[in-house]
Amino acid sequence: MRVRAVIRRGARLGVTIGAWPAGIVGTLCLVAAFVFLTGGHDGTARTLTSAGGLAVLGFMAAGVTVGAATGLALALAPRRLLTSAPLRGLLAALTAGLPVAALSVAALTGDGYTLASYPPSIHFLTWSATLTVASLAAARSGEIAGWAPDTDGRR
């Protein structure tokens, strides 16, 4: 039961991780669809609405997957590692941050593009998002693993 509870708490973190980009991208797509709809471009508005819906579902699924993987890693980690907050945070940050970084690099390097093809602003946004996800997972690692006093009262 403990493993399931830790994975469930990790998935709850994943909902938080996925909700921010899903909300931003979904809102931008809906606003753009409304602009195209008022301009008489019905096909473009429908395409943007469906693309926004798929992006929201994709971000939420990726967030829950990353959160559940973080919970699984913390559930399977040795007790000695979980008692040390820096090591527990590092494990959670690596488990959550590496897949996000890999997805970012894979998304940017398709169709003959390299990372050097993009301006510094894209790199800043990409790596900022990765570091934010890793930092959030590290900060919440105690809660996920059940070692924070506010989860069930034990340390």
Question: pLDDT category, 150, cuts 50, 70, 90?
Answer: low
Region 82-87: mean pLDDT is 90
Residue type, 139: A
At 155 the pLDDT is 47
Q: pLDDT by residue (tens digit) across 103-147?
A: 889 988 988 888 888 999 998 999 999 999 999 999 999 999 887
Give the span between the Cα atoms of 109 and 87, in whole angstroms.
Answer: 32
What is the rounded distance in angstroms from the CA atom of residue 133 to the CA atom of residue 20? 11
